[in-house]
Structure 1
């Protein structure tokens, strides 16, 4: 061992001071994601009521199921068409302001339906206002939060927030169904309005627009990303992004597959499963509870899909999801019965796992093909999702009025899912990813 000598009079170098590195055990991004999760769960719950209103409104006002389904269609279509503009408005005014305004619009629309006496008032309150409000908190909101706060684990986070959007619609169904059954539909509408107002303080106090607002880098990034300046011309930018994306093949394939996704979930099962099960003698509360089980298993399925999306090719995952969903829908008419039995439980669990497992790979494909514009592009893809849902919400009710059964709707949706599986496989990988 050698010993270091020091010249007399030479100052001894100071020993380096050991300072513990202060690191956050949990990155702030996860807290933001948690707040977004709760907000989306609450916002999604507001859209779970229309399926429970079909029979009560038909009995009280004598409106046909097709008329009520048309109001639900307006809600679903606006939910999707608002999303891309909401993403641009969040770039302009911030996430918190847009979401708070959306919650106020939801509370207004739901509250006004209590005094309605005509079908056009249902379309105005629940169709127009609630559709616009929930659209501002759609999956484009989840995409914006994910892209701003996370540089890695985006597939997982998008899966978690997607699960919130779908599960919130279904988990609240038993409560709202109990209110409708025991206290009529008006108290349920008031409950939705009050729930919307209750979410406002959490959004305003806990949600932050950008990591730079608190001096942090996005999760997984090494440097703080400066907050971008407000983007003016939100509507113009949204339409410009649409015009650019519409000139590419992947956009139309993604929009087509996602339209079928909406048709086979929100438009079909969420809207018509309860009345279809009731046609076979099942109590509405039992059918609503089955939809709630779909919501619970959707959490696991969508989070798992996000995990898989980080590891496997997104378009192949989409093909598998749609193919399995189509097969399951072909068996559903054979499973509907007055009581819940094991094969129906199996269908519910499987459909829950597959409910919106399509969202993480669809988001990933939007990012691969459209980069920084992906939240807005995904907003337009989501619009197609809701247009598909709106069409089936209306056509399903019309088919029930015409044929006296929902069977033809289940079979047609199964065939559409098979077509979506083929469309997903046609999507080409971007050049930079393929090289």
Structure 2
């Protein structure tokens, strides 16, 4: 089969997502070392994580507006470049306060990528679930490599060197993307940016019943994902007494499972429907988190890690649920807006889970995530049984 240009765009968008994820995921495996050096707490580190993810969330909406005005290629290149610079700054942080500030900068820069790349790919591909599912694999690819490398490098050379992996990943990806991806025509070059922030228009979109309900599902899913991505290695060390290296390997296994199943779940969404696929995916997490908490042995914990990786592969059916409910003219702006909202609220997963762990222990903190997923799955069942137009 002839290789098509759209496949080049898909591969390079996925690699750009990979680079922005590497920069964020190398932090988790070295959290204990950061806590030790700065003399801080899990709750404080959780606050820095929440700040990073909140900035990531807040930049989703303006990224869509910028893409409408200047084109997707420029915005994605800005995201990768900012990631490279912010990662280097984060590694040089002299205090916990500056660490938090640079984490926010990293989140803001990385957040410019996803919405823009997703809407670009949905215009190039008819099987949107599959395209989104493949694009999402940038995250598990980062999870496969980044935690193990960060743990190994951090153990030998210190956490600061480990964080430089974000810069190492972003620079070559940005260069290849600039070389191989053509300039993209902006969708609305004449539209002033301030028009995109008109409150009445934004509230109208968010208040649509189907959009509002999808946002509730997205908040629960993102909250759980943030808590897992931020603290899974720390949870495994504190709850089960595993070494940093073993916890890093299991964190990578989590992303392996995520990477293997994300494209398949995207294809299942196209074939069997978004809601059945989304419900089945989240339902796996109802089992995963109790298994992680109660696992009496390493093999059982490994099973829990794999199940959690599957459960957190919800992106394709959930995000496609948004895309099909937005008109062609509002895809960038609309998808950016809803992603800002659900990721901003979902970012509370880091600080809430870290604080709950400080107060009640990691067993309670991670067990609560399974309860949240049960609420989401139960609501999907009710919507389907009652035939609600949500």
TM-score (norm 1): 0.82
Please state if 1:187 is matched with 2:165. Answer: no
Which of 275, 299, 311 does residue 342 from structure 1 map onto?
299
1:270-319: CA deviation from partner (whole Å, max 9, x where unpaired): 11111111112201111111121121221221111111111122122222
1:305-347: CA deviation from partner (whole Å, max 9, x where unpaired): 111111122122222222221222122111276xxx3222222
| CA deviation after TM superposition for structure 1 residue 157, in Å | 0.7
Which of 113, 131, 153 does residue 137 from structure 1 map onto?
113
Aligned to 1:104: 81
Cα separation, partners in 2 of 1:382 and 1:47, compared to 1, 3 Å: same
- Between the aligned partners of 2:264 and 2:3, the Cα distance in structure 1 is 22
Do the aligned partners of 2:292 and 2:305 also contact (CA within 8 Å) in 1?
no
Q: What's the secondary structure of 1:117's corresponding residue? A: coil
- Between the aligned partners of 1:398 and 1:306, the Cα distance in structure 2 is 34
- Between the aligned partners of 1:304 and 1:382, the Cα distance in structure 2 is 23
- Between the aligned partners of 1:238 and 1:147, the Cα distance in structure 2 is 24
- Between the aligned partners of 1:253 and 1:154, the Cα distance in structure 2 is 21
Please state if 1:80 is matched with 2:39. Answer: no
Aligned to 1:237: 196
* Structure (1/2) with the larger helix percentage: 2
Do the aligned partners of 1:163 and 1:299 also contact (CA within 8 Å) in 2?
yes
| CA deviation after TM superposition for structure 1 residue 55, in Å | 0.8
Cα separation, partners in 2 of 1:320 and 1:238, compared to 1, 3 Å: farther
Cα separation, partners in 2 of 1:426 and 1:230, compared to 1, 3 Å: farther
Q: CA RMSD in A?
A: 2.5
Cα separation, partners in 2 of 1:331 and 1:114, compared to 1, 3 Å: closer
| CA deviation after TM superposition for structure 1 residue 108, in Å | 2.5
Alignment of 1:207-226 (within 5 A): 207-210=181-184
Do the aligned partners of 2:69 and 2:191 also contact (CA within 8 Å) in 1?
yes
Count residues in correspondence.
385
Do the aligned partners of 1:48 and 1:170 also contact (CA within 8 Å) in 2?
no
Please state if 1:48 is matched with 2:25. Answer: yes
Alignment of 1:21-420 (within 5 A): 25-126=2-103, 128-138=104-114, 140-150=115-125, 152-210=126-184, 228-237=187-196, 242-265=202-225, 267-279=226-238, 280-335=240-295, 341-356=298-313, 358-372=314-328, 373-403=330-360, 405-420=361-376
- Between the aligned partners of 1:196 and 1:144, the Cα distance in structure 2 is 21
Unaligned residue ranges in structure 2 (runs of 5+): none
Q: What's the secondary structure of 2:326's corresponding residue? A: helix
Q: What's the secondary structure of 1:136's corresponding residue? A: coil
Q: Of the two, which has the highest radius of gyration?
A: 1
Do the aligned partners of 2:139 and 2:255 also contact (CA within 8 Å) in 1?
no
Aligned to 1:15: none
Cα separation, partners in 2 of 1:101 and 1:275, compared to 1, 3 Å: same
Do the aligned partners of 1:108 and 1:129 also contact (CA within 8 Å) in 2?
no
- Between the aligned partners of 2:262 and 2:56, the Cα distance in structure 1 is 21
| CA deviation after TM superposition for structure 1 residue 209, in Å | 4.7
